[in-house]
Amino acid sequence: MRRPVSLNPMSFKELSGVLRQTLPGLWRSAPALMALLVGVVVVQGLVPAVTVVLSKWTIDGIGRVASGGEGNLTLLALAWAATALIGQLMGVASTVLQGYAADHFTVSTITALMRKMQALPGLDVIEDPQFHDDVETLQMGARFRPLNLVATILGLLRAVISVLGVAGTLLVIGWWVPLVVVLGILPLAQAQIRFREAGWSLSIQRTQEARELAYEQRVSMRHEYAKEVRLYDLMPYLLGRYQRGALAYQGVMRAMRNKQVLGVLPHQALALAVTAGLFAYAVRRAGQGTLSAGDVVLVISALSQVRESLDSVAQFLGMGTEHLRWFQKYHGFLSATPRVAPPARPRPLPGDLTLTLQNVTFSYRDLPPVIEGLSLTIPEGQTVAIVGENGAGKTTLVKLLLRFYDPTSGRVLLGRGPEQVDLREVDIGAWRREVAAVFQDFARFEWTLRDNILLGQPEEASKLTQAVSSSGLAGALERVNGGLDARIGQAFGGVDLSGGQWQKLATARALYRHARVLILDEPTAALDPRSETEVFAAFAALARGRTTLLITHRLGSVLMADRILVMKQGRLIEDGTHLDLLSRGGEYAELWTLQARQYDDAGPASPLPEGLAVEKGGPV
C-alpha cells in the first residue's frame, strides 16, 4: 500500500521548524567541537575574498612599481601565500573536525532512534506494513544523513560567507554590482532546491518498490532461501521479477533526474549571461581608464568565485532540504505516540499474577476482529494448553497478554480481588520481567551462544548450566568449537545451528529467566522426538508452581496441562480438562481422534506417543 506523499516543496516555515528541531541536537552532540568547527569554516569562507583583494592589490602594485611608483610587492606576495596556506590548513582542520562532529551526531541520531524503539512497547507500530517504509527510510538514512547534514550545513555556511565576502569586493566597481550578481544567480539556486525536493518526494513514494527490488536480490543471494531457489529453479522467475521491477523503477527515477538536469539549464544560462555582461562592462570601463588592471582582475576572479560559491550555495541548499526532509520524518517518528502507550503513573504489579480476559475483542489495525468476546481467567500457577486450528488467534491471545497490543474492546486484567489491575495501568517492563517465552518465531541473535541465553542479564553459572541441560542444548554444545562462546549464525561467519538447535537455544533463554509466567508457543515444533520428550520433561518440572501457557498442535503434549482451552475463529469454544473435553465429543475430541488415527493408520510398528497411548489405554 503506497502512502500519498506531498510533492509540494518544503515551505520556509516547515524548513525553519525542522532546523529548529535539528540544530540544537547537532550542537548538543559535541558543543566545543561544533564551536571550533564554525570558527574554522568562517575563516575558510573569508579566504576567497581576501585572495581576490590581494590579487587586485598585487596587480595594481605591479603597475605602480613598473611606472616607478612605490609598492611592497614582497609583502603582498607573502600575504597572498599566507592566505593560501591558511586556506589549506583550515581545509584540513575542517575535514578532520567535521569527521568527528559527524561521528558524534550520527551516534546521537541512531541512539535516539533506538531509544524511541525502546519507548514503543507494543508491536502495533512495528507490525504495521505502512510503517515499514518509514522504518526502512529512517534505518537506511541514519547511517549517512547525519554526516551529510553536518557536511551540508558547514559547506553552506562556508559558501554563503564566501559569496558575501567576494560579492562585497565587487562594491569597488559599483554598489549595484553584487546585487546584480546575486539576483542573476538566485533562480539557479531556487531551481536546484526545487528539483532536489521533487527527487526526495519521488524516492519516498517509491520506497516500497525499492524495497521489493532489494527483496528479489536478497532472495536470490541469501542462504535462508538458497534451497528452495535451487530446487524449484527460481532464478529465472526472480530475474524476471527483478528486471521488470527495476525497469519500471529506474524509468521513473531516470525521468526525474533528466528533468532535473534539463530544468536547471535555462537558469545556468541566465547566470552565465549576467557574469559575461559584468565582465564586458568591467573591460569597457578599464578601456575608458575608469578601472585599473587590478580592478579587472578583481572582477574576473570575483565573478568566477561568486558563481562557483553561489552554485555551491544552491547545491547545498538543495541537499540540505533533502536531508532536512529525512530529519522531518525522524523528528516525526521521535514524537509519534504509540497506541500501546506506557501509563503515565504506573500501578505496582499485584502480588498474585492471575490473568483475566474480560470480553476481549481485538482487530489488527482496521481489519476484521481475530479475537471476539473472549472471557477467561487463568489463576496463577495453572498450566493451560491452548489448542485450535491455524489462524484461530492463539498467538494473538499471547500478544494481548504480553501487552504487545491492547484489546480493541474489553480488558486484560492482572491479579485478583481488590488488587486486580488493568494491564494498561501497570509498568509494562515490570510485568514482562515476570514472563519468559519461547515464541513460535523466536529471534535468532547472531551473537555468541552465551549472549543468546543471557540476553544482557548477569551471568549465574549454575542457572546457565541448568538452562543448557534442560533445554537439550548440551549435546549441540559439545560439537561446537568454542562452546558457549562460539559465535552463531552466518552474518558474522559464525557456526550455523540446525532448526532444532536454534529452538533449544530459544528454550534455554526462557529457562534461564526463571520467570513466574512461562509462555510456550509451539516450543518443540523443530525438535526430534527424544529432544521433545526431554524438553517437555523440563517444561513440566518448570511449570510446577508457575503459570504456564502452552500453545501446541501436538496434542500428546497437552496432557501436562491442568486445563485445555480450544479456540476457533477467535473465540473460546471449549474449556476443560483432557477428559472433560474428550467426553464432551466436541472440537477437541475430534482433533484428538484425528491425530490418534494418524498413528493407528501407521500400524503397530509405529509406537504411539505417550499421551496418545494413555488415551487409547483408557482414562489418564
Ligand X SMILES: Nc1ncnc2c1ncn2[C@@H]1O[C@H](COP(=O)(O)OP(=O)(O)OP(=O)(O)O)[C@@H](O)[C@H]1O
* Interacting residue ranges for ligand X, rule: CB under 6 A: 127, 364, 367, 370, 388, 390-396, 440
Closest to ligand X by CB, 59 or 387? 387
Closest to ligand X by CB, 145 or 394? 394
Length of the chain: 620
Closest to ligand X by CB, 149 or 565? 565
What distance in Å separates the CA atoms of residue 149 and residue 142, rounded to the nearest whole number? 11
Closest to ligand X by CB, 325 or 394? 394
Report helix, strand or coil for 561. Answer: coil
C-alpha cell at 3: 502512502
Report helix, strand or coil for 261. Answer: helix
CB of 392 to ligand X, least distance (A): 4
- Residue holding cell 611608483? 69
Closest to ligand X by CB, 200 or 362? 362
Closest to ligand X by CB, 514 or 571? 571
Closest to ligand X by CB, 9 or 393? 393
CB of 405 to ligand X, least distance (A): 9
CB of 123 to ligand X, least distance (A): 7
CB of 165 to ligand X, least distance (A): 58
CB of 553 to ligand X, least distance (A): 7
Q: Nearest to residue 206, comparing CAs of 251, 259, 142?
A: 251
Report helix, strand or coil for 342. Answer: coil
Report angle CA 22, 25, 29 to the nearest 5 degrees: 145
Closest to ligand X by CB, 195 or 362? 362
What distance in Å separates the CA atoms of residue 415 and residue 50, rounded to the nearest whole number? 77
Closest to ligand X by CB, 443 or 579? 443
Q: Residue 519: beta bridge partners? A: 437, 549
CB of 506 to ligand X, least distance (A): 16
435-438 sheet: strands from edge to edge = 435-438, 517-521, 547-551, 383-388, 563-568, 571-576
CB of 343 to ligand X, least distance (A): 24
Closest to ligand X by CB, 166 or 549? 549
CB of 367 to ligand X, least distance (A): 6
Report helix, strand or coil for 367. Answer: coil
Closest to ligand X by CB, 405 or 502? 405
C-alpha cell at 386: 491452548
HSE (side-chain half, CA atoms, 13 Å) at 484: 15
Whether 421 contacts 457, CB under 8 Å: no
Burial of 31 (0-12, 13-18, 19+ CB in 10 A): exposed
CB of 388 to ligand X, least distance (A): 6
Helix 235-287 / helix 293-334 crossing angle, nearest 10 deg:
150
Whether 356 contacts 380, CB under 8 Å: no
- Residue holding cell 549472549? 451
Closest to ligand X by CB, 30 or 567? 567
What distance in Å separates the CA atoms of residue 104 and residue 584, rounded to the nearest whole number? 66
CB of 394 to ligand X, least distance (A): 4
What distance in Å separates the CA atoms of residue 23 and residue 15, rounded to the nearest whole number? 12
CB of 395 to ligand X, least distance (A): 3
CB of 272 to ligand X, least distance (A): 57
Whether 381 contacts 354, CB under 8 Å: no
Q: Nearest to residue 326, comparing CAs of 107, 133, 155?
A: 133
H/E stretch holding 437: strand 435-438
CB of 521 to ligand X, least distance (A): 7
H/E stretch holding 374: strand 371-378
What distance in Å separates the CA atoms of residue 453 and residue 578, rounded to the nearest whole number? 34
* Range 217-246 burial, b when 16+ CB lie within 10 A, else e: eebbeeeeeeeebeeeebeeebeebbeebb
Closest to ligand X by CB, 295 or 587? 587
Report helix, strand or coil for 497. Answer: coil
Neighbouring residues of 77: CB distance < 8 A, sequence distance ≥ 6 = 58
